[in-house]
Structure 1
Amino acid sequence: MPSHELPEDLARIVADVTDLPAEAITPGSCFQDLGEWSSLAALRLLTAVEEHFGIRLELRRYLDTETVGELSDMIAGSAEADR
């Protein structure tokens, strides 16, 4: 997947999990500020991200991620490591 598609794909996935419009999701969006964010939403997002991008993320590191941009960087790093 081209790296320029990652932010857009991730915004759509986050929007699906949070029931917010994808246009409202930016790299600076903090997960705690996204509507009804909970541990269940975090796990739903983790599953959706791993399935969509075909990667496995380290759970502890994922849970320490605070923004959509940080998660995007983690996904990009994981995808590069898998190559």
Structure 2
Amino acid sequence: MTRIFSDRGFDRQFSRLPRKFQLKFYERAALFAADPRAPLLHNHPLEGKYEGMRSINITGDLRAVYRESENNSAFFVEIGTHHQLFRS
């Protein structure tokens, strides 16, 4: 089982999300903890400013960005819409 951690920036962004999206994150985080590569998550590596990190889908447009850590853990660093995270 993958252990999940987050940094303060992620926590701040998360606290500003509507409650329904927070609940959806908890659902997807539980799935992620059990199987990080579950097809529903669309887990994929990122490039550019997020080089070395990965992204999972929370909803159709909401994404969570994380980096893999040692000891089977993931450290979530950002959460937001595709536009918020990946705009040029």
Which TM-score applies when normalising by structure 1? 0.35
Higher strand share: 2
Higher helix share: 1
